[in-house]
C-alpha cells in the first residue's frame, strides 16, 4: 500500500489549527499547490496534513482520488439539515504548542497568498481528557492501531477521503438536561464513556445513529471557540466517501425509519466539505512540481 500522510495518525497533540481555502478565479493553482506540498514535506514541531477539494484535485492532474469523490451536497431538511460549503484546500495543523501551529499556518498563508483566500481559519484545542464541549469523551469507539489504516486509507491510492463540518453547539440548551438525559442523547455515560445497552440505549442517540457496520471512519475532531460561539470541528478520514454519506443520512433522518440523531437538536453544522488527502508519495511528487 502507498503510505498515507503520516501526520493524519499522530495522536495526543493538544493544539489544533485548521484552514480552508477557496481558489481565486482565473489563477493557475499548480505553483501554489507545489509550495504547499513542499511545506508539508518539512518535519517540524507541528504536524501538517494537506487535502484538496474534488475539483482542484482533478485540475492538479496528480492521479486518481477516491473513485466516488465529489463535492459535499447538503443533506436533510429544515432544522435537521447539514449545509454544504465546499472549498478547495484544507490544511490541518496540530502539535504540542499553539505557537508552532501558528508558525506553520502563517507559512501556509504565504504559500497560498494571491491564489486562494482563507474562508475558514480556526484554532482549536483538546478539552481535558479528549472531551467534546458537551463534556462527553469523543473518540472512544475510534479504530486503534492498524484498524485506523483500514478505516481511513484507500489501499489503491494510499489516499483518504476527508469530511469536515464546523458545528456550533447550543450548550445552554444541552446543559438544561440532567446528566442521565444527556447520556441518552449521546448513547454513552458522561463520566467514563460506557456505551448504553439494551433498552437503556435510545434509537435516536448519536451512537445508535452512527454505529453502523461497514462505515468505520477515523475521527480527529476537536473543540474550538470562545465564551461566545463554540462547538466542534468535525474532521474524519475514510477510505471512501460512501461511508460518510451513510452516516450522515442516518444522522439527518434521510433513512426509511426517518429517525434523526437527537444530537442535532443541540448542535448545528454550519459548514461541510469533502476533500482528498493524497498519499505521502503523491504529495512529494506534487512538491517536486
Which residues lie near ligand HEM (CB under 6 A)? 132, 134, 136-142, 165, 167, 186, 188, 193, 206-207, 210-211, 217, 232, 234, 244, 247-248, 263, 267
User: One of 88, 100, 132, 138 is an active-site residue; which one?
Assistant: 138
Residue with cell 453502523: 212
Distance CA(107)–CA(101), nearest Å, equals 10
Distance of closest approach, residue 85 Cβ to ligand HEM, in angstroms: 14
Helices 98-112/30-41 angle, 10° precision: 160
Smallest CA-to-CA distance from 24 within 112, 104, 146, 132 is with 112
Sequence-distant (6+) residues with CB within 8 A of 275 are 51, 52, 53, 54, 90, 161, 162, 163, 164
Cα angle: 41, vertex 44, 46; to 5 degrees: 105
Distance of closest approach, residue 136 Cβ to ligand HEM, in angstroms: 4
Sequence-distant (6+) residues with CB within 8 A of 258 are none
What is residue 189's three-state secondary structure?
Answer: coil
Distance of closest approach, residue 286 Cβ to ligand HEM, in angstroms: 28
88 catalytic, yes or no? Answer: no
Distance of closest approach, residue 133 Cβ to ligand HEM, in angstroms: 8
In the bound state with ligand HEM, the residue whose beta carbon lies nearer, of 23 and 217, is: 217
In the bound state with ligand HEM, the residue whose beta carbon lies nearer, of 152 and 263, is: 263
Answer yes or no: are the C-beta atoms of 59 and 275 closer than 8 Å.
no
The catalytic residue positions are 138
Amino acid at each position: 500500500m502507498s503510505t498515507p500522510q503520516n501526520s493524519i495518525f499522530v495522536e495526543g497533540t493538544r493544539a489544533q489549527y485548521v484552514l480552508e481555502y477557496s481558489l481565486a478565479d482565473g489563477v493557475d493553482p499548480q505553483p501554489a499547490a507545489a509550495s504547499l506540498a513542499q511545506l508539508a514535506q518539512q518535519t517540524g514541531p507541528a504536524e501538517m496534513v494537506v487535502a484538496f477539494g474534488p475539483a482542484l484535485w482533478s485540475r492538479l492532474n496528480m492521479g486518481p482520488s477516491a473513485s466516488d469523490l465529489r463535492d459535499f451536497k447538503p443533506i436533510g431538511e429544515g432544522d435537521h439539515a447539514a449545509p454544504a460549503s465546499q472549498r478547495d484546500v484544507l490544511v490541518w495543523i496540530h502539535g504540542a504548542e499553539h505557537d508552532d501551529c501558528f508558525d506553520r499556518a502563517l507559512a501556509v498563508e504565504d504559500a497560498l497568498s494571491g491564489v486562494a483566500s482563507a474562508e475558514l481559519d480556526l484554532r482549536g484545542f483538546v478539552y481535558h481528557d479528549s472531551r467534546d464541549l458537551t463534556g462527553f469523551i469523543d473518540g472512544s469507539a475510534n479504530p486503534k492501531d492498524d484498524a485506523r489504516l483500514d478505516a481511513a486509507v484507500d489501499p489503491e491510492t494510499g489516499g483518504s477521503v476527508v469530511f469536515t463540518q464546523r458545528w456550533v453547539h447550543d450548550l445552554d440548551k444541552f446543559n438544561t438536561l440532567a446528566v442521565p438525559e444527556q447520556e441518552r442523547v449521546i448513547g454513552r455515560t458522561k463520566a467514563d464513556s460506557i456505551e448504553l445497552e439494551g433498552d437503556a440505549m435510545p434509537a435516536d442517540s448519536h451512537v445508535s445513529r452512527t454505529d453502523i457496520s461497514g462505515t468505520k471512519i477515523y475521527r480527529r475532531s476537536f473543540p474550538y471557540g470562545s465564551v461566545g460561539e463554540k462547538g466542534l470541528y468535525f474532521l474524519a478520514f475514510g477510505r471512501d466517501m460512501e461511508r460518510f454519506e451513510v452516516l450522515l443520512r442516518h444522522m439527518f433522518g434521510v433513512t426509511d425509519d426517518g429517525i434523526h440523531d437527537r444530537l442535532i437538536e443541540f448542535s448545528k453544522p454550519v459548514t461541510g466539505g469533502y476533500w482528498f488527502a493524497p498519499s505521502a508519495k503523491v504529495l512529494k511528487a506534487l512538491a517536486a512540481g
